[in-house]
């Protein structure tokens, strides 16, 4: 089994606790009612997940499969350590460079829009999305727009992962947001694709 079964949340205004089934949470690709209609109105305090006593690791990601094999084969410990190692290699340590992980979501475009983009950039990564859409790699778009590893003032794009914005030291929230908006405009001008933020901006 997989996925969230129930979510316990606290309503900010009243302090009321409420538990709801996942069916009413609107879970989707990096989104839910907690990022939309309930954004800023509730705090999630607990999540119920169904767990199995029979491990069924998913190794469909090539990097994970290779890392697990290099650690001696499939075991819960090897899978956990492999994923931790991959994340450590790709993402900056917040203790070293302030960041919020992936700052942007992968955009989904229609089939005709994807065909237009692929005609111009045949090497553009793309994946099937629900309802006939096509998911693009925001990191690739940001990189090709010239932002990977680039800094402006105290904010920059990580050298190894273009989805991650880093605080080089002392940057304010306003500086980070302004920098992110410049990246969004740049990607839209170059590719005609809008990328949205994954982080909640308060």
Q: Give catalytic residues, as residue numbers.
A: 30, 102, 198
d(CA 150, CA 148) in angstroms, rounded, equals 5
The answer to whether the CB of 165 falls within 8 A of the CB of 103 is: yes
Tokens of 176: 């980070």
Report the DSSP beta bridge partners of residue 151.
156
Report H helices in 24-120: 62-70, 76-90, 111-120
User: 156 burial class (0-12, 13-18, 19+ CB within 10 angstroms)?
Assistant: buried
Taking CA atoms, 110 is separated from 10, 21, 92, 141, 179, in Å, by 37, 31, 33, 16, 28
**Cα–Cα nearest to 91, from 43, 35, 139, 48:** 139
Characterize 29-65 residue by residue with b for buried, 16 or more Cβ atoms within 10 angstroms of its Cβ, and e for exposed. eeebbbeeebeeebeeeeeeeeeeeeeebeeeeeebb
């Amino acid at each position: 089994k997989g996925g969230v079964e129930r979510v316990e949340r606290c309503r900010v205004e009243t302090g009321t606790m409420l538990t709801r089934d996942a069916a009413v949470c609107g879970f989707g690709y990096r989104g839910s009612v907690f990022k939309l209609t309930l954004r800023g109105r509730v705090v999630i305090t607990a999540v119920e997940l169904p767990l199995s006593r029979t491990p069924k690791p998913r190794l469909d990601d090539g990097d994970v499969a290779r890392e697990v094999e290099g650690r001696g084969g499939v075991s819960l410990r090897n899978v956990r350590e492999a994923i931790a190692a991959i994340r450590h290699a790709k993402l900056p340590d917040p203790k070293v460079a302030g960041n919020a992980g992936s700052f942007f979501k992968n955009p989904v475009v229609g089939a005709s829009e994807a065909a237009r983009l692929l005609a111009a950039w045949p090497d553009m990564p793309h994946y099937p999305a629900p309802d006939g859409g096509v998911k693009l790699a925001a990191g690739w778009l940001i990189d090709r727009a010239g932002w990977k590893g680039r800094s402006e003032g105290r904010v920059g794009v990580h050298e190894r992962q273009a989805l991650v914005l880093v605080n080089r030291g002392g940057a304010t929230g306003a500086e980070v947001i302004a920098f992110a908006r410049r990246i969004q405009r740049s990607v839209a001008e170059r590719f005609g694709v809008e990328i949205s933020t994954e982080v909640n901006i308060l």
